[in-house]
Amino acid sequence: MINRILSSAAAAALLAGTALADEVRVYNWSDYIDESLLEKFETETGIELIYDVFDSNEVLETKLLAGGSGYDVVVPSGTFLQRQITAGAFQKLDMSKLTNKDNMWDVINDRLKKYDPEGAYAINYMWGTTGIGVNAGKVKEVLGEDAPVDSLALVLEPSNMEKLSECGVHFLDAPAEIIPATLAYLGEDPDSQDPDVIAKTEPVLTAIAPYVQKFHSSEYINALANGDICVAIGWSGDILQARDRAAEADNGVEIEYYAPKEGALMWFDNMAIPVDAPNPEAAHTFLNFIMDAQNMAAASNYVYYANGNKASQEFLEKDVIGDTAIYPDEATLENLYTTSPYGPKVQRTVTRMWTKIKSGT
């Protein structure tokens, strides 16, 4: 996380000196694109692309709200997008420049309206679910053959977690993902904004927190792939990337992904243009390039996340479009829920509770 901050600080410092017209600065999630697409963009358009990465919505939001981030394209998730639109952080997209807009998938566009009601500020890049990644062999070794790998009970029941802590468990360091999941497990509304309902998750999470080796939002990819940990609550595509890295390394580690049967959070990462983007013209060119069916398919084939581009589906590889962990079937899709951003007061309660859960104070 820190190296990203440093690298983008360096980028911002460079920015102060130069403001070339044909240059576009993109700030995207780490491990989230096929890097050959970046070169392709440069050769096709002649625009120089500066590509930086982050691993938490909070880091992105802080940069945007500080103003003068220097980026032309950023990729916030739905709830953050909604709040940042309210704060006036984005400019409206010029649809006439986005000639590939008809490629977009109406199903996803509709769901995105929860966050961007007029569909005026952002286009969907990828979407996915938050679920459970397991090192199948190790988990069965520890919990036996009938380990509840497709249920949140695996990670929210202290008796399971006590045993799993031997082989290592990581949780996303993202209360806005873990709390809704815990609410779903308790049979409450995962999107609840009521502090009293949210408080019900505290004893559940406090009971299992001592068995969590780390709360972190990107280290689990490598940790799962190397066999350092055996379970992670994480983002679907990240866990599938861990699966592939392990398979490539041929180290005997087999990773599986499950969207929990109690319901899984469905999230959307979307591309938007900051209100003070130095080069909005080039930003639109980049957006349109990404909205191209083949380019979008290349990105999804590489990162194992579903995208919001209907036209790209014919170019997707079988193990992407055919994998229900990536493109869920109808039954799973119905079992997915979305969340709304917390208001400032609730946010503070949630952060405080999260610190208490993690550190015991």
Partner 1 sequence: MKRATLILVPYLWLLVLFLAPFLIVLKISLSDAALAIPPYTPTLKDGIGALIAELDFENFIFLTEDDLYWKAYLSSLRIAVISTLLTLLVGYPIAYGMARAPDEWRATLMMLVILPFWTSFLIRVYAWMGILSNEGLLNQLLIWLGLINDPLTILNTNTAVYIGIVYTYLPFMILPIYAALDRLDSSLDEAAQDLGCTRMQAFWLVTIPLSRNGIVAGSFLVFIPALGEFVIPSLLGGSGTLMIGKVLWEEFFNNRDWPVASAVAVILLLILVIPIVLFQRNQQKQQEAEQ
Interacting residues toward partner 1 by CB under 8 A = 1-3, 6, 56, 58-59, 61-62, 64-67, 83, 86-89, 168, 175, 209, 212-215, 226-228, 275, 344, 347-348, 351-352, 354-356, 358-361
Least distance CB 321 / partner 1 (angstroms): 35
Nearer to partner 1 by Cβ, of 43 and 359: the residue is: 359
**What is the C-alpha separation between 131 and 240, in angstroms, rounded?**
11
Closest contact distance (angstroms) between CB of 350 and partner 1 is: 8
Helix (H) or strand (E) holding 177: helix 175-186
* Cβ-based nearer residue to partner 1, 246 or 259: 246
The tokens describing 307, both together, are 């995208």
Positive or negative: CA dihedral 291, 297, 303, 309: positive
Nearer to partner 1, 104 or 198 (CB): 198
End-to-end CA distance of the chain: 24
CA distance 69 to 241: 30
Choice between 68 and 322, CB closer to partner 1: 68
DSSP 211-274: G-SEE-SSHHHHHHHHTS-SEEEEEHHHHHHHHHHHHHHTSS--EEEE--TT-EEEEEEEEE-B
Pick 89 or 336: Cβ nearer partner 1: 89
DSSP annotation of 148 reads: -
Supply the minimum distance, in Å, between the C-beta of residue 289 and partner 1: 28
Nearer to partner 1, 111 or 170 (CB): 170
Choose among 173, 145, 147, 171: nearest CA to 160: 147
- The minimum distance between CB 332 and partner 1, in angstroms, equals 30
Per residue in 28-37, is it b (16+ CB within 10 Å) or e — as a string? bbbebbeeeb
Work out how close the CB of 267 gets to partner 1 at its nearest, in angstroms, rounded to a whole number.
17
Min CB(178)–partner 1 separation in Å:
12
